[in-house]
Structure 1
């Protein structure tokens, strides 16, 4: 009795393995056939989803230039003035005094700093904007502000400020002044001087 039951269980298990193998083969075949099937459906519906190389091979023309940023408002220009105030014996200035940009356009300006002191110092910068209403529309993508930097005597550095002016900036604002005040973080400078230099 046990042998007959055992044989029946073995037969059932083999059937189940066969069915599962068939399902796996059918799933693989369906996945493999999906790419050409997808292309045929797109062609039948008139949807152009071919890659650039396939479009060129099919003779759909040459690749066009990269599309222009549609977020840029080219109908107006904003003058951005850059200002730098140093609270201490060091050099701090923007590489450009002014820059004309369109709202929505990414722009970058470099700020230069040099520690003219005979000692290590730690400093940081805080930005301000004029007119005040422009603050909400001046979006900095990259900025050195609010970070603390430790500089050796005579060390020079350059930091970028990358920004985008929101196209929703009120039309009566045509000039924005970005001003940085760079000041020494006194407690940090003393700690930096106390640390041994490697």
Structure 2
């Protein structure tokens, strides 16, 4: 092939700019997915998120406790790396009647030699039960600060709606504890 028959060199500058813009859009979309996912999960009660994390007792309809039925509720907790705490439910499992108001406690202890702020993130399973699990008061509503060696009992007051389906006989409330990224 002679030099006269070679195609002219192509300019790829415009293509490179478009690809970089597309990468930037995907990067921004990835950051937007986290709050969008949390909002969607809270709205539909998916992935163990409860529909309303904080409700007031006066907003509850008159309780119709179903004494003919009992539900088993288990409590678990997980500590994420970087949080030198010890946490355990004082009642790992309870039985409750649908519509019954109940309070349980978790014991938390800071094992380090410095003050640490942590945050609990709840999850209910099976996920269909999350829309029926109502927390009236929970340590997960705000960040918790523990001084070195400090121990504290933290309360959870909740109710499980009486209209929870008959197919649900047990549920689990799990807390994942994280070091607070921006202690307030």
TM-score class, shorter-chain normalisation, is 0.5 to 0.7
Residue aligning to 2:152: 157
- Which secondary structure state, in structure 2, belongs to the residue aligned with residue 145 of structure 1? helix
Q: Work out which of the residue numbers 74, 78, 82 in structure 2 matches 1:81.
A: 74
Residue aligning to 2:101: 106
Deviations 1:73-125 (A, max 9, x none): 01110000000111232101110110000000111110110000111111110
Residue aligning to 1:171: 166
Work out which of the two has the higher radius of gyration on C-alpha atoms and give 1 or 2: 1
The structure with more helix, counted as a fraction of residues: 1
In the aligned structure 1, how far is the partner of 2:150 from the partner of 2:158? 26
- Please, what is the CA RMSD of the aligned residues? 1.6
CA contact (8 A) 2:63 2:100 kept: no
In the aligned structure 2, how far is the partner of 1:73 from the partner of 1:150? 38
- Which secondary structure state, in structure 1, belongs to the residue aligned with residue 141 of structure 2? coil
Deviations 1:145-176 (A, max 9, x none): 13112211101111111111101101000001
In the aligned structure 1, how far is the partner of 2:88 from the partner of 2:127? 22
Shift of 1:142: 0.9
TM-score (norm 1): 0.58
After TM superposition, what 4+ stretches of structure 1 lie above 4 angstroms from structure 2?
none
**Unaligned runs of at least 5 residues, structure 1:** 1-68, 193-198
In the aligned structure 1, how far is the partner of 2:63 from the partner of 2:114? 50
Query: Which fold has the larger relative contact order, with Cα–Cα distance below 8 Å and residues 6 or more apart in sequence?
Result: 2
In the aligned structure 2, how far is the partner of 1:81 from the partner of 1:149? 22
Residue aligning to 2:142: 147
Deviations 1:25-64 (A, max 9, x none): xxxxxxxxxxxxxxxxxxxxxxxxxxxxxxxxxxxxxxxx
